[in-house]
Amino acid sequence: MSVKPLTSYTCKLADEQAAALKSCLDARNFTPREVPYAWFAGEKEKTNVVFYNSGKLVVQGKGTQEFVEFVLEPEVLKQAKLGYETVLNPELLLPRIGVDESGKGDFFGPMCVAGVYVNESVINAWKDAGVRDSKNISSDKKISDLAKLIKETPGCVTTVVPIGNEAYNRLYAKMRSVNTVLAWGHARVIENLMGQRHRMNPPPVQAISDQFAASKSVIEKALMSMGKELKLVQRHKAEEDVAVAAASILARDEFVKRLAALGKDYGVELPKGAGSSVDVLAKDLFSRHGADVLANIAKMHFRTALRAQNLPERPKTEWRKVGTSKKI
- pLDDT per residue, tens digit, the chain (328 aa), is 344 567 888 888 999 999 999 999 999 999 999 999 999 999 999 899 999 999 999 999 999 988 988 899 888 988 765 555 555 455 677 899 999 999 999 999 999 999 999 998 999 899 878 898 898 888 999 999 999 999 999 999 999 999 999 999 999 999 999 999 999 999 999 999 999 999 999 999 999 999 888 888 899 999 999 999 999 999 888 888 999 999 999 999 999 999 999 999 989 999 999 989 999 999 999 999 888 889 999 999 999 999 999 888 877 765 454 444 443 3
Residue 41 CA to residue 58 CA, distance in Å, equals 9
> Which residues lie below 8 Å from residue 102, measured CB to CB, with a gap of 6+?
111, 112, 114, 134, 248, 251, 252, 254, 255
Which CATH entry fits the domain spanning 8-88: 3.40.50.2020, 3.40.50.720, 3.40.50.1110, 3.30.310.10?
3.30.310.10
pLDDT value for 219: 92
Q: Where do the domains of the chain lie?
A: 8-88, 94-258
Instruction: Give the 3-state secondary structure of residue 209.
Output: strand
Q: Any idea which architecture 94-258 has in CATH?
A: 2-Layer Sandwich (3.30)
pTM value > 0.85: no
- 56-60 and 96-102 beta bridge pairing: unpaired
Percent helix, strand, coil in the chain (nearest 5)?
45, 20, 35
Give yes or no for a contact between 33 and 103, defined as CB atoms under 8 angstroms apart.
no
What was the pLDDT predicted at 310? 87
Distance, first Cα to last Cα, the chain: 54
Give the integer Cα–Cα distance in Å for 132 and 136.
Answer: 7
Question: CA-based angle 112:113:117, to the nearest 5?
Answer: 140
Question: Which pLDDT score is estimated for 324?
Answer: 45
Q: Which residues contact residue 314 at a Cβ distance below 8 angstroms, ignoring those fewer than 6 apart?
A: 303, 306
Beta carbons of 277 and 312 less than 8 angstroms apart: no
Q: How far apart are CA 285 and CA 219, in angstroms?
A: 35
Rounded to an integer, what distance in angstroms lies between the CA atom of residue 24 and that of residue 72? Answer: 8
- The reported pLDDT for the residue numbered 5 is 67
In this predicted structure, what is the pLDDT of residue 212? 86
